[in-house]
Amino acid sequence: MTQRVALITGGAKGIGRGIALDLATQNWKIAFCYRTSEDAAKTTAQAIAERGGQALPIQCDVSDPDAAKQMATQVETEWGHIDALINGAGPYHRINLFDETIEGWNEMFDGNLHPIFYLAQAVAPGMKGRKTGRIINFSMANADQMISQPDVTAHYIAKAGILILTRTLAKLLAPHGITVNAVSPGFIDSGSAPPVELAGMTKRIPAGYIGTVDDTVAAVRYLLSDEARYVNGANIQISGGWGI
């Protein structure tokens, strides 16, 4: 069988890194992008190789549509195809809506929502031609609730938009054997949030504890598997009951 190829955005650290290392144990070829974390990317690439996978780290700002599409082309040129696109990049910052800048507002959409559109357009033709493919987009656990978020407004709107885009892509690509699903983490100990902030949220999580990267990786593993071939347009919350 042809070795499977995954393209992961934001794959140098956190949840993206966890997904990459898990796929490495299953003998995938893993291309992943990073924007500024060159040292972390090198460490992740080495860890992928140690687990039996092949790594292709690419420095890329996926908020740039041309750069995002060029990255997908580079992976397809080097490895022949892309079986799975995992959109894990998702910058955010906390600031009251009335203190937000125009640049900060746009950054949340440019970094979270728009790259999924760019990359879906880039990988869809190849997946359609092979009549198979998986796309997984990362949202957040309460994005479907449409509640007020004064300190992460643009980020929250972008994450809600990801759910709409996921369902739209799923409907368009299902006839071609391609599934498109969302994974929506709650509070996960991935290194992106301060430990003090995570600890303060524990009492608000019905399960009573903070999730791990492995909890999220398990959901991605399922969505990439043959067992999930009929799961399309779904949103899996990884939150211990928070945000529902």
Give 212's contacts (C-beta < 8 A, 6+ positions apart).
188, 189
The token pair at 119 is 């990359």
Is the separation of the CB atoms in 232 and 180 below 8 Å?
yes
| HEC assignment per residue over 64-90 | CHHHHHHHHHHHHHHHCCCCEEEECCC
| CB 19 within 8 Å of CB 30 | no
Residue 49 and residue 11: Cα distance in Å, rounded? 14
- DSSP annotation string for 100-168: --HHHHHHHHHHHTHHHHHHHHHHHHHHHHHT-EEEEEE--TTGGG----TTSHHHHHHHHHHHHHHHH
Nearest to 215 by CA among 53, 24, 18, 28: 18
Q: Which residues are catalytic?
A: 156
